[in-house]
Amino acid sequence: MTPITAYSPTYKLGDRVVNRLGYGAMQLAGPGVFGPPKDHAAALAVLREAAASEVDHIDTSDFYGPHVTNQIIREALHPHRDDLVIVTKIGATRGADGSWNPAFSPAKLTKAVHDNLRNLGLDTLNVVNLRCMFDPHHPAEGSIEAPLTALADLQRKGLVRHIGLSHVTPTQIAEGRRICEIVCVQNQYNLAHRDDDELIDALARDGIAYVPYFPLGGFTPLQSSTLSSVAARLGATPMQVALAWLLRRSPNILLIPGTSSVKHLRENLAAGELVLPDDAIEELNGVASAGAI
Ligand SMILES: NC(=O)c1ccc[n+]([C@@H]2O[C@H](COP(=O)([O-])OP(=O)(O)OC[C@H]3O[C@@H](n4cnc5c(N)ncnc54)[C@H](OP(=O)(O)O)[C@@H]3O)[C@@H](O)[C@H]2O)c1
């Protein structure tokens, strides 16, 4: 077994260089990403542990809770360290019943930016993703010109430093890049869900970060006998192997695994030390075609 050559632990995100292992804050809200967390102190502890570790990239949104996750980030970490990149996303609001509603008008996007600024305690948002969830199940075609132009106007006003796109197709990314600079793309991708293989390689060639959401499978964590047997062989957990595989997959992949547990956070960050041998990579590459979930 030949160990694979070490990979770079960092990649650029806008005008910063961040550690490729970051943290996704969505799990800090209540069940269904709605309302307060079951354990407020535990949520603060996760964020403080992340900040005390090498995490310098946190993914969030004001529609988690809504407002709750950003307010917890502010409570745990404000004043924010200069090197911390907080990435947020806009394009939805939450109904009183927890529903997710599209919010793409210039007025709603402007309100979303101001809500994020206030709840995070920032003067400028470092990166804002326009989340184009026209279809909840998979990215669906449709012009993004109107909302992205509105977001680019907010960037010109100095409220937003960099812009990214989420839940988008290659056609929408191409359209977006004609309107403004796109520094990152956030779509669903993991060991078992590899629709974006070609897109990731194309973005890598253009130096654009790819930030997979649900890197561990999201609400249905990854389960696969191959993943479990590779993990057992390497003395790691299946989730660590899933993250290590993503780090190997392409240098432009930035990870934002979500957790509400300090123990899981530590395990996830330790995945950066895990070296996957060639034969393990080959086996893991077969997971998606085997139809594992
Ligand atoms: N752009 C979008 O539309 C979009 C959509 C969804 C998510 N996101 C972003 O992507 C981030 C990541 O997605 P996600 O949090 O939904 O899914 P994920 O990272 O794939 O998985 C999170 C789930 O895995 C569990 N988990 C985490 N670490 C674990 C470990 N070491 N061992 C066992 N279980 C572990 C968590 O439970 P515990 O809490 O018990 O650890 C949670 O149930 C989110 O935080 C959010 O910022 C973006």
Q: What is the pLDDT of residues 75-102, one digit of tens each?
A: 999 999 999 999 999 999 999 999 999 9
Structural domain includes residue 55: yes
Q: Identify which of 40, 97, 91, 41 has the alpha carbon closest to the alpha carbon of residue 68.
A: 40
Structural domain includes residue 90: yes
Q: What is the pTM of this model?
A: 0.97
Structural domain includes residue 200: yes
Catalytic residue among 64, 189, 210, 213: 64
Residue ranges lining ligand 1, Cβ < 6 Å: 24-27, 59, 89, 131, 166-167, 186, 213-218, 221, 237, 239, 256-261, 264, 267-268
Structural domain includes residue 33: yes
Closest atom of ligand 1 to CA, residue 25: 45
| Closest C-alpha to ligand 1, atom 32 | 264
**Where do we find the tokens 């590899």?**
194
Structural domain includes residue 292: no
pLDDT tens track for 95-149: 999 999 999 999 999 999 999 999 999 999 999 999 998 888 888 999 999 999 9
- Residue 120 maps to which CATH number? 3.20.20.100
Structural domain includes residue 194: yes
Active site residue 189: no
Print the domain residue range for 42. Answer: 17-285
Separation of CA 267 and ligand 1 centre (Å): 13
Q: Per the structure, how many domains does the chain have?
A: 1
Structural domain includes residue 50: yes
Structural domain includes residue 3: no
Closest atom of ligand 1 to CA, residue 258: 15
Exposure string of 109-118, with b = 16+ CB inside 10 Å and e = fewer, is bbebbebbbe
Is 1 a residue whose pLDDT tops 50? no
